[in-house]
């Protein structure tokens, strides 16, 4: 590719709103341009890297026996209503109406759509297991889009879904995916850890996050170099001191607002923001009812137990006080009304966990209810002491250290979380109808790209690992007006192209200083400079990563590269 013909705008200045290296460098080096908060266009050179990352992901997915497909971005609201996520996903789910006022979600993830397809197409155990994936833009109206590609509102994801007739079969697919993820992030040259992660609303099932170690990461992981143990600290359990409640779940429906036809009206009437899965832990300490509300940086729809780590502990003497706190105490999601017949589940010694849900019933009326949470193993969080640096590892090897991590991938055994409400069933060997068992597996492709830049850069620019670099060779003609330089550079350019080497040829009429600076910034692994010794057929070759350089004769160039 000739640089003179390319849209590759580089910047000397650091963009004002870019505060981490990957964001600054990807903009300065002409890989991406901001469109709006959390939305970026990929310019040609950025697009090449994106495609290279995708190619590695594709190869490993195909090896793991997954089949690529392509679903729609717009998804009918009905599916999301079936799983309850039309409401529970909250404002992060982007929505739109068509001209007939039919509602759609812009795909934030595709469990609903894929389950709808499977429900129609898979009837028999003979069609299982199945693993499907796609690579596609996802839309999430993040509360705080930031750090460039790391937390976008429109971003590229690889999302895979597997379907099974048995949990054993799911376990096998999960293993394969886990291995594929390990291969992908290793091939991308990333320093990463697979960590045990919080299963949030789903409760109890296996799931792992793949974390790139980086100071700009928003998660903290606990790991040890001498042990296999690694966990997101939101998940790292400590000693168990209490038992889990054994009470049967019971739903205590609270406030109905039958006159409200829209979500907004109902939310107004209830005086709250629609949200689901807000948790409160309640237990009895020395005869006092103590409640821990989950608080902090809620993503409203996706309230996870990690918030417990920053939890406020409120000590309450009476049930009435507890109720009052439930009515007002939920921090960033606003007050939640709970009417008088709420039964707070907390007996003498045993703690209970409740879910506070603001949702909708079948008629579209909105309500709040409180249910004891029995999936959640309360005992893990019993004394609210979390693992700390310097602790021994849980498997008896080494000591715990902490590091910041960027979540680049997430693998999850979903079980029947989606298939059950969407009634995706198959007939087993005995002709009996069973619910399909499911797993899901995501990789943030654009986030991964930025994570690579976080780990591969220096003060001058990006230092791409060679298998995902936009080009393998950056060919510079220092003074294109000098005939001998132009001729030699053109000849090398043709030879490299003929040999199938991806080469970017800086044939611009720019000063040498500009070309060197741009070349360091863009970060192509190998630079060939045609300059002063062009008349003798001698060029300079320099490795971007190591900085090693030497002079090479024209005829040796190809041998040195291939
Ligand atoms: P996070 O905890 O960072 O918000 P998530 O747990 O909500 O991520 P998942 O639903 O597990 O994300 O989605 C799968 C993958 O998609 C994530 O592991 C991550 O790599 C990527 N991803 C999620 N949200 C974003 C985003 N806003 N911008 C870029 N990539 C994202
Ligand atoms: Mg998220
Ligand atoms: Mg996460
Ligand atoms: Mg995740």
Give ipTM to 2 decimals. Answer: 0.99
**pLDDT at residue 457 above 90?**
yes
Of residues 290 and 338, more confidence is placed in 290
Please name the residues in contact with 114: beta carbons below 8 A apart, sequence gap of 6 or more.
71, 132, 161
Which pair of structure tokens corresponds to residue 43? Answer: 């310019």
The mean predicted confidence, pLDDT, of the chain is 79
User: Does the CB atom of residue 200 touch ligand 1 within 6 A?
Assistant: no
Least confident of 232-236, 256-260, 380-384: 380-384
268 or 152, which is more confident?
152
Least confident of 150-164, 207-221, 455-469: 207-221
What pLDDT was estimated at residue 207? 87
* Alpha carbon nearest to ligand 1 atom 25, residue: 151
- Report the atom number in ligand 1 closest to the C-alpha of 152: 28
| Ligand 1 lined by 457 (C-beta under 6 Å) | no
Which ligand is nearest the CA of 150, by number?
1
Q: Is 158 in the pocket of ligand 1 (CB under 6 A)?
A: no
Cα separation of 322 and 289, whole Å? 8
* Averaged pLDDT for residues 140-164: 97
Q: What is the pLDDT of residue 205?
A: 61
Does ligand 1 have an atom closer than 6 angstroms to the CB of 472?
no
Q: Which atom of ligand 1 is nearest to the CA of 109?
A: 10
pLDDT of residue 198: 60
Q: Is the CB of 142 under 6 A from ligand 1?
A: yes
**Predicted pLDDT at 340:** 32
Report pLDDT for 234.
59
Q: How far apart are CA 86 and CA 90, in angstroms?
A: 7
pLDDT given at position 97:
97
As given in the structure block, the two tokens for residue 339 are 């009417």
pLDDT band of 289, cuts 50, 70, 90: very low
Helix (H) or strand (E) holding 406: strand 401-415
The secondary structure element, H or E, covering residue 23 is helix 21-28
When comparing pLDDT for 108 and 340, which is higher? Answer: 108
Whether pLDDT at 302 is above 50: no
The atom of ligand 1 lying closest to the CA of 409 is 18
Residue 390 — very low, low, confident or very high, per pLDDT cuts 50/70/90? confident
Q: What is the pLDDT of residues 510-548, one digit of tens each?
A: 999 999 999 999 999 999 999 999 999 999 999 999 999
In this predicted structure, what is the pLDDT of residue 252? Answer: 31
145 is written with which tokens?
Answer: 């889009």
CA of 384 to the centre of ligand 2 (A): 24
Reply yes or no on whether the pLDDT at 89 is more than 50: yes
350 CB neighbour count, 10 Å cutoff:
18
| Cα 136 from Cα 155, distance rounded (Å) | 8
Determine the 3-state secondary structure of 329 from DSSP.
coil
What is 120-179 written as a DSSP string?
A: HH--BGGG--EEEEEEEEEE---SS-BTGGGB-SEEEEEEEEEEESSHHHHHHHHHHHHH
User: Which tokens is 83 given?
Assistant: 């799983």
> For 46-78, how does the pLDDT look when each residue is reduced to its tens digit (9 = 90+)?
999 999 999 999 999 999 999 999 999 999 999
- For 353-372, how does the pLDDT look when each residue is reduced to its tens digit (9 = 90+)? 444 443 333 333 333 333 44
Q: Global pTM?
A: 0.78
Site of tokens 């499907």? 132
Note the pLDDT tens digit of each residue in 203-236: 346 889 999 999 999 988 888 888 877 877 654 4
Closest ligand 1 atom to residue 159 Cα is 14
Query: Which atom of ligand 1 is closest in space to residue 406's alpha carbon?
Result: 3
CA of 412 to the centre of ligand 1 (A): 13
Pocket probe mutation, ligand 1, options 216, 303, 407, 451, max atoms within 8 Å of Cβ: 407
Nearest CA to ligand 1 atom 4: 151
Instruction: Report which of 351, 332, 63, 25 is spatially closest to residue 183, judged by C-alpha positions.
Output: 63
pLDDT band per the 50, 70, 90 thresholds, residue 387 = low
Q: Once rounded to an integer, what is the mean pLDDT over residues 334-342?
A: 29
Counting ligand 1 atoms within 8 A of each CB, the residue from 143, 302, 447, 450 with the most, and so the one to mutate, is 447
């Amino acid at each position: 590719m000739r640089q003179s013909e390319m849209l590759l705008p580089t910047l000397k200045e650091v963009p004002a709103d870019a505060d981490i290296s990957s964001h600054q460098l990807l903009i300065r080096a002409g890989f991406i341009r901001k469109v709006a908060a959390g939305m970026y266009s990929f310019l040609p050179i950025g697009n090449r890297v994106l495609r290279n990352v995708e190619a590695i992901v594709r190869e490993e997915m195909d090896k793991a026996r997954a089949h690529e497909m392509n679903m729609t971005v717009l998804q009918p609201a009905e599916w999301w209503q079936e799983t309850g996520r039309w409401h529970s996903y909250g404002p992060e789910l982007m929505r739109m109406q068509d001209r007939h006022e039919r509602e759609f979600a812009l795909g934030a993830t595709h469990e609903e759509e894929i389950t709808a397809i499977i429900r129609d197409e898979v009837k028999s155990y003979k069609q299982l297991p199945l693993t499907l994936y796609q690579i596609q833009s996802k839309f999430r109206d993040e509360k705080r889009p930031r750090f460039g590609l790391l937390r976008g509102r429109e971003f590229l994801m690889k999302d895979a879904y597997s379907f099974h007739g048995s949990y054993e079969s799911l376990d096998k697919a999960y293993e394969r995916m886990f291995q594929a993820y390990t291969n992908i992030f290793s091939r991308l040259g990333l320093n990463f850890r697979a960590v045990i992660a919080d299963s949030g609303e789903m409760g109890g099932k296996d799931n792992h996050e793949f974390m790139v170690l980086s100071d700009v990461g928003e998660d903290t992981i606990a790991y040890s170099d001498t042990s296999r143990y690694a966990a997101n600290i939101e998940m790292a359990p400590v000693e168990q001191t209490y038992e889990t409640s054994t009470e049967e779940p019971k739903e205590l429906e609270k406030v109905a607002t039958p006159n409200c036809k829209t979500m907004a009206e109902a939310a107004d009437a209830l005086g709250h923001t629609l949200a689901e899965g807000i948790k409160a832990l309640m237990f009895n300490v020395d005869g006092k009812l103590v409640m821990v509300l989950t608080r902090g940086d809620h993503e409203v729809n996706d309230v996870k137990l990690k918030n417990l780590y920053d939890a406020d502990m409120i000590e309450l003497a009476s049930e009435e006080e507890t109720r009052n706190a439930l009515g007002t105490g939920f921090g960033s999601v606003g007050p939640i009304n709970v009417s008088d017949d709420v039964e707070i589940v907390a007996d003498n010694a045993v703690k209970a966990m409740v879910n506070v849900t603001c949702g909708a019933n079948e008629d579209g009326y909105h309500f709040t209810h409180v249910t004891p949470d029995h999936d959640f193993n309360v005992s893990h969080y019993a004394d609210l002491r979390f693992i700390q640096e310097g602790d021994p590892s849980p498997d008896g090897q080494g000591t715990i250290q902490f590091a910041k991590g960027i979540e680049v991938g997430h693998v999850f055994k979903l079980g029947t979380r989606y298939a059950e409400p969407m009634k995706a069933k198959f007939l087993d060997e005995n002709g009996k109808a069973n619910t399909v068992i499911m797993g899901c597996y995501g990789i943030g492709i654009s986030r991964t790209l930025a994570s690579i830049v976080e780990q591969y850069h220096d003060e001058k620019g990006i230092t791409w690992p060679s298998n995902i670099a936009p080009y393998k060779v950056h060919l510079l003609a220092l003074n294109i007006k000098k005939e001998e330089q132009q001729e030699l550079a053109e000849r090398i350019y043709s030879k490299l192209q003929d040999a199938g080497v991806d080469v970017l040829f800086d044939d611009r009429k720019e000063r040498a200083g500009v070309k060197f600076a741009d070349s360091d910034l863009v970060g192509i692994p190998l630079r060939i400079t045609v300059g002063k010794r062009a008349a003798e057929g001698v060029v300079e070759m320099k490795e971007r990563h190591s900085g090693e350089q030497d002079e090479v004769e024209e005829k040796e160039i190809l041998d040195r590269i291939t």
